[in-house]
């Protein structure tokens, strides 16, 4: 699957989760999966492989990445010491586009990816337009001076985003810093990465 650019609400209904952080999600009034048995959950028992595939797809949609990207990140996570599943989540969470979203400089993950791709973001004072750039502890991430008046940036800041424990943010300067590697319990993504690791390790 390439990077998904279709209807985001359809995906959110499929997983019964607001994957894109949209305020207008239909899940606000229908907090269950789409379909005849979406409300009661009677869809039959899924196999372990099916559940693992479902969890992997969820991560790909949430972080807006392609199959080859999550495969590459899995291989990096597997080569690192420690728990592979937690490593995977940490690498995904430290992607530049996601860090921009976590810092509250964009209203959604899609908008954050677009900001980065269009050259509105800099890391340690240098323009960085690669969404897959992995932010390290101590890296300074900021919206470039000429882009601070960008409508989406100003709208996101006006929403006063929830503070995340592993980033320090200055909304007035529209800049922030990754202060620690995120622990799995602090990453606000509902996913069973153990199942993802199992199917990717086959």
Chain length of the chain: 202
**Residue for token pair 């597997």:** 78
Write out pLDDT tens, residues 90-125: 999 999 999 999 999 999 899 999 999 999 999 999
Give kind and range of the element (H or E) at residue 16.
none
Average pLDDT, the chain: 86
User: Residue-wise over 83-119: b if at least 16 C-beta within 10 A, else e?
Assistant: ebbbbbbbbbbbbbbbbbbbbbbbbbbbbbbbbbeee
What pLDDT does 96 receive? 98
> 8-92+188-200 adopts what CATH topology?
Ribosomal Protein S4 Delta 41; Chain A, domain 1 (1.10.1050)
Residue spans per domain, the chain:
8-92+188-200, 95-180
Write out pLDDT tens, residues 133-161: 999 999 999 999 999 999 999 999 998 88
Write out pLDDT tens, residues 157-186: 998 888 899 999 999 999 999 999 999 999
Sheet with strand 175-178: strands edge to edge: 126-127, 121-123, 140-143, 175-178, 167-170
Task: For residue 157, count other CB atoms closer than 10 A to its CB.
Answer: 20
What pLDDT does 1 receive? 40
Q: Which CATH class is domain 95-180?
A: alpha beta
CA 80 to CA 59: how far, in whole Å?
20
Beta strands 126-127 and 167-170 are unpaired
């Amino acid at each position: 699957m390439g990077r998904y650019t279709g209807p985001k609400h359809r995906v959110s209904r499929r997983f019964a989760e607001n994957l894109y952080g949209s305020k207008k999600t239909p899940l606000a009034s229908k907090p269950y999966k789409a379909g005849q048995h979406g409300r009661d959950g009677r869809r039959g028992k899924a196999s372990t492989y099916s559940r693992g595939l479902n969890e992997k797809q969820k991560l790909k949609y949430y972080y807006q990445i392609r199959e080859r990207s999550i495969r590459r990140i899995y291989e990096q996570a597997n080569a690192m010491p420690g728990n592979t599943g937690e490593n995977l989540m940490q690498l995904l969470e430290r992607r530049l586009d996601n860090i921009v979203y976590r810092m509250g400089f964009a209203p959604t993950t899609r908008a954050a990816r677009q900001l980065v791709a269009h050259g509105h973001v800099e890391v340690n004072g240098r323009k960085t337009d690669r969404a897959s750039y992995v932010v390290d502890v101590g890296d300074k991430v900021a919206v470039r001076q000429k882009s601070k008046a960008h409508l989406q940036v100003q709208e996101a800041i006006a929403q006063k985003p929830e503070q995340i424990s592993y980033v320090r943010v200055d909304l007035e300067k529209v800049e922030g810093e990754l202060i620690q590697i995120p622990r799995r319990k602090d990453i606000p993504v509902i996913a069973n990465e153990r199942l993802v690791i199992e199917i990717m390790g086959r």
